[in-house]
Amino acid sequence: MANSATLTTDPRAQWGGGKSPFSVSYGKLMMWIFLLSDAFSFSTLLISYGFIRHSFAGVTDNPWPSPDHVFNHFPFLHGMHLPLMFVSLMTFILIASSVTMVLAVEAGHRMAKGEVVKYMIMTIIGGAAFLGCQAWEWTQFIVGSEAGKTLADGTVVHGANLFQNEYGPVAFADLFFIVTGFHGFHVFSGVVINIIILIQTMNGVFEKRGHYEMVEKVGLYWHFVDLVWVFVFTFYYLI
């Protein structure tokens, strides 16, 4: 018990103070805890979606729409029925940018400044491309089809906003805007933070500091955004 070898193997000694019992830095630990709380926010939004959609299961006069008939457009291929194609492209873009991010983290471990810069730029381009795709997706959804939907009183509704929805219940559009909007805002913040870290990397801030841990922290955030998209993709477009 008394010698130092047993002290290091004793789990109680890890909690005695003076070092992180998680063997991660304070900043990284706080990033994990932030992401946990953020995961709760997104879970709540997606569960609300599930709840409201489930509660419409038996409604027949204005049923919950199938994503097949709402999100079936692709840029430059006007008028073609292509469900899931555009959103799959968005998913690939986000996964690819996640890979370049983790490669930047890996380059940071080796203190390879040039590679960190290269991969960070690729990650930022991926994030920006995703945001562009989402803007296009929203535009399609808001503008709607040319035919629109004729209501009982004769008015024709085109597309969707917070008050009317061509495709089905208004709640469908509301949930689409809040969930993909909240996720899109996360992507946007991620791109902004990535740009800040890229500038700091180029200025040699982390090289002077002796480690690239900031890249790891924004990496955690960026992968989380990708993770959320996996579930948005699953619940909005697949189910």
Q: Which residues contact other proteins by CB under 8 A?
A: 8-9, 11, 14, 21-24, 29, 32, 35-36, 39-40, 43-44, 47-48, 50-62, 66, 83-84, 88, 91-92, 95-96, 98-99, 101-103, 106, 109-110, 169, 171, 216, 219-220, 223-224, 226-227, 230-231, 233-234, 238-239
* Rounded distance between C-alpha atoms, residue 226 and residue 103, angstroms: 15
Q: Report the nearest approach of other proteins to the CB of residue 79 (Å).
A: 20
Q: Which three-class secondary structure state does DSSP give residue 10?
A: coil
Structure-token pair, residue 200: 């700091």
**Among candidate residues 126, 128, 118, the one with its CA nearest the CA of residue 201:** 118
Helices marked H in 110-160: 113-143
**Residue number, 188 or 233, with CB nearest to other proteins:** 233
**Residue number, 83 or 136, with CB nearest to other proteins:** 83
Q: Report the nearest approach of other proteins to the CB of residue 24 (Å).
A: 7
Q: Report the nearest approach of other proteins to the CB of residue 215 (Å).
A: 12
Listed in sequence order, the residues at least 6 apart from 96 whose beta carbon sits closer than 8 Å to its beta carbon are: 126
Structure-token pair, residue 132: 């562009």
**Residue number, 15 or 146, with CB nearest to other proteins:** 15
Q: Give the number of other CB atoms < 10 A from CB of residue 217.
A: 20
Q: Report the nearest approach of other proteins to the CB of residue 188 (Å).
A: 20
